[in-house]
Structure 1
């Protein structure tokens, strides 16, 4: 059964899905969205600790990992909780991936140091964003969702591509009829966009 308000998965998925119907563009986003989140967390590792909370140090596979309770940790917490609230099963998987990104990006950031890390992040972000803009401009023929709703696009992007992959490869649905209902809403949003575009061109 669907939820309402901030946790209305159908509404969020339909909004994001209406900007991502082309199969090539979807694949491009599957490849590039999570690396954007990962490298964002990598550079946020170097932000100061919030509320002077202590660092958490532990060993992972024989290597030292240092977690800092900073902006990267806060973003990971917000994203993870939001995804779980949207859908318990897929959201829990997304939350685990977010935590995995936080831990591994912290390890890599600590290993690289800031002087090298920011260069790696810059190149990665440029590559990933360029790929996505090509996906929209060349294949989707529609501007990215972030131009219409920046917060929703950034917040939903990682979960959208994960849910899209789960639907495509294992036939996952948060609940029976979800896919059919969302597809109808996506078509309605696309038709509304086309009508608005034609009206502006008249």
Structure 2
């Protein structure tokens, strides 16, 4: 991993998260709502300018030309997914797969809702970079709980 205390130091991020999120209700709320917030952000990013137009190339079937749009939402999901894989290969790969699934789902939802309805979805703004690591904690919590359950207690 990166240098201690750096952006790519998973242990530092996890220690910070654990220090402020030890309440079981808070953990449940984060587990339940972090990915929907990420999904909502991708719905809103659907209406940003296209980075790469694949409709002219014929790569995508004609039904997907205006749905799977490579815009800032795709870039957002790609950066998050790569960041998570760099932090931890196993949990990060799961989080990257969820990021991709959220992007695909969000593009379909936004394409069918249209601009005016999609912008009525409530979005949360988090001013710090702590939000960048937040969705990774859900798979990490699952892996951490499973590994802790497999550990033996102290021998008597």
TM class, shorter-length:
0.7 to 0.9
Q: Quick one: distance in 1 between partners of 2:147 and 2:37?
A: 26
Unaligned stretches of 5+ residues in structure 2: 152-156
Alignment match, 2:147: 171
1:37 Cα deviation after fit: 0.1
Alignment match, 2:21: 20
Determine whether 1:34 maps to 2:10. no
Unaligned stretches of 5+ residues in structure 1: 130-145, 177-202
TM-score by length of 1: 0.63
1:166 Cα deviation after fit: 2.6
1:58 Cα deviation after fit: 4.2
Determine whether 1:116 maps to 2:117. yes
TM-score by length of 2: 0.80
Alignment match, 1:70: 71
Q: Quick one: distance in 1 between partners of 2:41 and 2:90?
A: 25
State the number of aligned residues.
143
Q: Quick one: distance in 2 between partners of 1:24 and 1:81?
A: 30
Q: Deviations 1:142-188 (Å, cap 9, x if unpaired)?
A: xxxx67xx11x1111100122112322x327xxx9xxxxxxxxxxxx
Alignment match, 1:54: 53
Q: Quick one: distance in 2 between partners of 1:110 and 1:171?
A: 40
Note the aligned Cα RMSD (angstroms): 2.5
Higher relative contact order (CA 8 A, sep 6+): 1
